[in-house]
């Protein structure tokens, strides 16, 4: 439920920037949606022009038919009565010829435009995915994966509907309406004026419908995103869901959100249905008037019967596409709402910016400095008021402190998931903001409480630390962290699949895999944020030994939950409300009378 409000909340413009709506009530694509659409189509300009040329031909073939009928009725028949079958034969041949042309152009158009829209959608999906991966942690901490999934699936899908079918219909509809209008004027001006008069109510109805619909489609986009978010969150946290018997409540939430989606969609469909109905009705009334007035003109000899027949045939073809336009308009509204959401994600900049002229650090000694760092996630609450800390190369620092003191924030700043609001964090005296991202991540690696394993084997997961590593190096890393014994029990050894998110491994074993990654990566600085706190005592012992191996000779900041980890530290820091309140060697602090001494005493008592 937590995400419901964020979908509407305005943070850095995402998800809330309205499309411009002009005074006539037409929905115009907002600047960024239009830019996105343009940039998507630009690489395929040639294919788009080809599709356009084919559709023009297709339209000519479609529109030509009734002209042949008029000619056959008015000239062909009279010539035939005089024994000259030529004109009638030509009409038949012409009609068939254009029919064949129409079949070929329709086929080619569907192929060309289908390929075109698939290519565009392919690019769009890739762009959203690539971009979202590059966005900083701060984005992902606010924009849930469910919302991203809904951008990639249902929003892309509604654009697909527009591109695939609707656009074909729209193009041919507009073309045939224009062509037919010209032919109608050419055939008979007074009748054309009547058709034109019928346009007045048509335009009024269209405007009314647009106004009524424009919010409806935004509503459906927001609603479906909520359904997906809820789905992803419930399944992602399925263990917590079952442990705390949250199924019923989740069902209820889904029902509520899905009802909103169903209702929003139904409302949008109802709007479209009334529009289509009214358009048809206006069409039929116009047709009746044309037939009555046309017959009158034929009787008075102002018009040939064949022309009237052609007129009636054309009117049918005139209003048919208007129906289609109504459908296209719906698809367009839906796609515009989707495009707006997608472009919102694409226009998000990573809050951690890449340096323009990066300083290359081929090797790092591992000197870490926090220099007068001020940091706040939001303007309303400062987490680190002014934080300074110097860690010499190779020092192992353990940090303890109450929950919410700002320890993880410090770790995230050192791993550059965030930049300080003021002051700087530096490695070997170089501000992290000046080091390229890849370069920085070679030297600073963070491990957190939950280690994520990807689908693939244990070896694949360890190799993440250094993709170029040989099999022997991977095996050595596993050995170094004490995984060898466990691996020996697996059916395929180190090449055993870890199953979904490492489901085959215990959390302690997953943590060891994460440490093996770090061992392989061999960075100068290691940040461990409560990396051992979820482990039971036996696995913790195992990890403890692994830690001593991988930390040897490196700078480390270990945020510890259990004091057993502190044993290997050279220095201990106690943090409170974003500042350091105690700083010294473990022995010194234990000998003193501060918080750490108390903590340590309590811990020792618990061991007895
Ligand atoms: N992504 C975030 N957005 C906003 N506030 C946050 C975020 N992460 C942490 N905080 C806040 O910052 C403070 C410090 O959190 P944290 O560094 O995680 O503490 P610790 O790791 O010491 O328990 C807490 O008050 C927490 O509510
Ligand atoms: Mg924390």
Distance between CA atoms of 443 and 523, rounded to whole angstroms? 4
For residue 424, report the phi and psi dihedrals to the nearest 5 degrees: -150, 155
Q: Evaluate: CB of 141 within 6 angstroms of ligand 1.
A: yes
532 and 458 housed in the same domain = yes
pLDDT in tens, 495-528: 998 876 667 788 788 888 998 999 999 999 999 9
Whether residues 306 and 389 fall in one domain = no
Mean pLDDT, to the nearest integer, of 8-32?
42
32-36, 144-148, 166-170, 356-360 — most confident range: 356-360
What local confidence, expressed as pLDDT, does residue 387 receive? 95
User: What share of the chain in percent tops pLDDT 90?
Assistant: 33
Q: How many Å lie between the centroid of ligand 1 and the Cα of residue 403?
A: 9
Q: Is the CB of 404 under 6 A from ligand 1?
A: yes
Least confident of 173-182, 225-234, 536-545: 536-545
* Domain with 103 in it: 23-346
Q: Is the CB of 308 under 6 A from ligand 1?
A: no
Is the predicted pLDDT of residue 240 greater than 60, yes or no?
A: yes
- Tell me, yes or no, whether 168 lies in a domain: yes
Question: Is 476 a domain residue?
Answer: yes
The reply to whether ligand 1 has any atom less than 6 angstroms from the CB of 482 is no
> Looking at residues 442-449, what average pLDDT do you find?
90
Q: What is the mean pLDDT of residues 57-82?
A: 83
Ligand 1 atom 9: the closest Cα is on which residue?
Answer: 409
Contact 176, 62 (CB under 8 A): yes
Query: Ligand 1: which of 6, 408, 418, 560 to mutate, most ligand atoms within 8 Å of CB?
Result: 408
Q: How far is the CA of 405 from the centre of ligand 2 (A)?
A: 8
- Please indicate, yes or no, if residue 120 is contained in any of the structural domains: yes
Residue 142 CA: nearest ligand 1 atom is 1
Q: What is the position in ligand 1's atom list of the atom closest to the CA of 411?
A: 17
Mean pLDDT over 71-100 rounds to 86
372 with 326, same domain? no
DSSP 76: I
pLDDT at 104: 94
Whether residue 403 has its Cβ less than 6 Å from ligand 1 = yes
* 255 and 393 inside one domain: no
- Contacting residues for 415 by C-beta, under 8 A, at least 6 apart: 444, 445, 446, 527
Stronger pLDDT, 388 or 567, i.e. the higher one: 388
What does each C-alpha distance from 41 to 165, 325, 371, 522 come to in angstroms?
Answer: 17, 22, 48, 45
Task: Count structural domains, the chain.
Answer: 2
Mark whether 198 and 105 lie in a shared domain: yes
Same-domain status, 379 and 318: no
User: If you average pLDDT over residues 362-390, what whole number do you get?
Assistant: 93
CB of 168 within 6 A of ligand 1: the answer is: no
Cβ pair 407, 559 in contact under 8 A: yes
Q: Please tell me the distance between residue 407's alpha carbon and the centre of ligand 2 in angstroms.
A: 6
Same domain? 342 vs 378:
no
Query: 420 and 290: one domain?
Result: no
Q: How far is the CA of 574 from the centre of ligand 1 (A)?
A: 17
What is the dihedral angle through the alpha carbons of 470, 451, 410, 344, rounded to the nearest 10 degrees? 100
Shared domain for 402 and 312, answered yes or no, is no
Q: Are residues 285 and 416 in the same domain?
A: no
Nearest to 551 by CA among 571, 533, 526, 531: 526
Confidence of residue 432 (pLDDT cuts 50, 70, 90): very high
Pairing state of beta strands 555-559 and 525-529? parallel
| Ligand lying closest to the C-alpha of residue 384 | 1
3-state SS string for 187-244:
HCHHHHHHHHHHHHHHHHHHHHHHHHHHHHHHHHHHHHHHHHHHHHHHHHCHHHHHHC
- Express each pLDDT in 161-198 by its tens digit: 888 777 677 777 888 888 888 888 888 888 888 888 88
Domain CATH code at residue 312: 1.20.1560.10
CA-closest candidate to residue 342, choices 43, 138, 131: 131
Atom of ligand 1 nearest to the CA of 137: 1
CA of 404 to the centre of ligand 2 (A): 7
Q: Is residue 18 part of a domain?
A: no
* Weakest mean pLDDT among 18-22, 145-149, 315-319: 18-22
pLDDT, position 11: 32
Does the residue 3 lie in any domain? no
Q: In this predicted structure, what is the pLDDT of residue 535?
A: 65
- The predicted structure's pLDDT at residue 500: 67
Q: Is the CB of 448 under 6 A from ligand 1?
A: no
Give the CATH number for residue 428.
Answer: 3.40.50.300
Q: What pLDDT, on the 0 to 100 scale, is given for residue 239? A: 83
Mode of pairing for the β-strands spanning 444-448 and 525-529: parallel
Looking at the predicted structure, is the pLDDT value of residue 462 above 70? yes
Residues 252-264: pLDDT tens digits? 999 999 999 999 9
278 domain-assigned: yes
What is the whole-number distance in angstroms between the Cα of residue 257 and the centre of ligand 2?
Answer: 33
Whether 592 lines ligand 1, by a CB cut-off of 6 Å, is: no
- pLDDT number for residue 325: 75
228 lines ligand 1 (CB under 6 A): no
Model confidence band, residue 9 (pLDDT cutoffs 50, 70, 90): very low
Mean of pLDDT values over 87-112:
89
Is residue 251 scored above 90 in pLDDT? yes
pLDDT for 29 equals: 65
341 and 390 inside one domain: no
3-class SS string, 231-271: HHHHHHCHHHHHHCCCHHHHHHHHHHHHHHHHHHHHHHHHH
The stretch 29-50 carries a mean pLDDT of: 86
Tell which wins on pLDDT, 436 or 74: 436
Residues 554, 474, single domain; the answer is yes
Please check whether residue 88 lies inside any domain of the structure: yes
- What is the residue-averaged pLDDT of the chain? 85
- Nearest CA, atom 24, ligand 1: 404
Secondary element (H or E) of residue 574: strand 571-576
pLDDT value for 28: 54
Mean pLDDT: which of 137-141, 172-176, 539-543, 575-579 is highest? 575-579
- Asked if the structure places residue 351 within a domain, the reply is no
């Amino acid at each position: 439920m937590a995400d419901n409000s964020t979908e509407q909340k305005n943070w850095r413009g995402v998800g809330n920037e309205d499309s411009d709506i002009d005074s006539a009530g037409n929905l115009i694509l907002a600047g960024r949606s239009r830019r996105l659409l343009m940039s998507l189509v630009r690489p395929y300009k040639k294919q788009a022009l080809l599709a356009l040329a084919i559709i023009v031909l297709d339209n000519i073939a479609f529109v030509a038919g009734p002209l042949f009928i008029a000619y056959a009725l008015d000239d062909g028949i009279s010539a035939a009565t005089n024994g000259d079958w030529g004109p009638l034969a030509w009409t038949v041949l012409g009609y068939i010829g254009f029919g064949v042309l129409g079949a070929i152009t329709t086929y080619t158009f569907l192929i060309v435009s289908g390929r075109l829209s698939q290519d565009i959608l392919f690019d769009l999906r890739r762009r959203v995915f690539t971009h979202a991966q590059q966005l900083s942690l701060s984005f992902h901490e606010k924009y849930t994966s469910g919302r991203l999934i809904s951008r990639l699936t249902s929003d892309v899908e509604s654009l697909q509907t527009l591109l695939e079918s609707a656009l074909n219909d729209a193009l041919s509809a507009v073309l045939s309406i224009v062509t037919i209008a010209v032919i109608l004027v050419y055939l008979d001006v007074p009748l054309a004026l009547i058709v034109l008069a019928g346009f007045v109510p048509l335009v009024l109805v269209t405007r009314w419908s647009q106004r009524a619909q424009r919010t409806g489609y935004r509503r459906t986009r927001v609603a479906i995103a909520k359904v997906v978010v809820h789905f992803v969150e419930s399944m992602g946290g399925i263990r917590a869901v079952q442990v705390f018997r949250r199924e019923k409540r989740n069902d209820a939430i889904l029902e509520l959100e899905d009802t909103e989606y169903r209702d929003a969609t139904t409302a949008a469909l109802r709007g479209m249905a009334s529009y289509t109905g009214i358009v048809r009705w206006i069409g039929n009334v116009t047709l009746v008037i044309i037939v009555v007035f046309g017959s009158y003109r034929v009787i008075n000899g102002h018009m040939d019967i064949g022309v009237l027949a052609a007129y009636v045939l054309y009117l049918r073809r005139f209003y048919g596409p208007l129906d289609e336009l109504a459908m296209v308009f719906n698809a367009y509204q839906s796609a515009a709402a989707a495009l707006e959401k997608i472009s919102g994600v694409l226009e998000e900049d990573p809050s951690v910016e890449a340096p323009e002229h990066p300083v290359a650090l081929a090797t790092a000694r591992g000197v870490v400095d926090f220099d007068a760092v001020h940091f706040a996630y939001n303007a309303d609450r400062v987490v680190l008021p002014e934080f300074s800390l110097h860690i010499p190369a190779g020092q192992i620092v353990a940090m303890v402190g109450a929950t919410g003191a700002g320890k993880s924030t410090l770790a995230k700043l050192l791993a550059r998931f965030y930049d300080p609001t003021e002051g700087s964090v530096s490695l070997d005296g170089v501000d992290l903001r000046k080091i390229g991202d890849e370069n920085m991540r070679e030297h600073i690696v963070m491990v957190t409480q939950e280690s994520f394993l990807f689908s693939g084997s244990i070896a694949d997961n360890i190799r993440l630390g250094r993709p170029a590593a040989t099999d022997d190096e991977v095996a050595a890393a596993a050995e170094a962290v004490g995984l060898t014994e466990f691996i020996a029990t697996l059916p395929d050894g180190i090449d055993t699949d870890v199953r979904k998110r490492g489901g085959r491994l215990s959390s302690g074993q997953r943590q060891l895999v994460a440490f093996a990654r770090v061992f392989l990566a061999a960075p100068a600085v290691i940040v461990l944020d409560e990396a051992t706190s979820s482990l039971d005592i036996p696995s913790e012992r195992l990890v403890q030994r692994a830690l001593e191996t991988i930390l040897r000779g490196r700078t480390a900041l270990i945020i510890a939950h259990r004091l057993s980890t502190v044993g290997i530290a050279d220095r201990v820091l106690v943090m409170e409300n974003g500042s350091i309140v105690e700083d010294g060697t473990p022995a010194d602090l234990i000998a003193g009378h501060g918080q750490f001494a108390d903590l340590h005493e309590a811990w020792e008592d618990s061991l007895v």
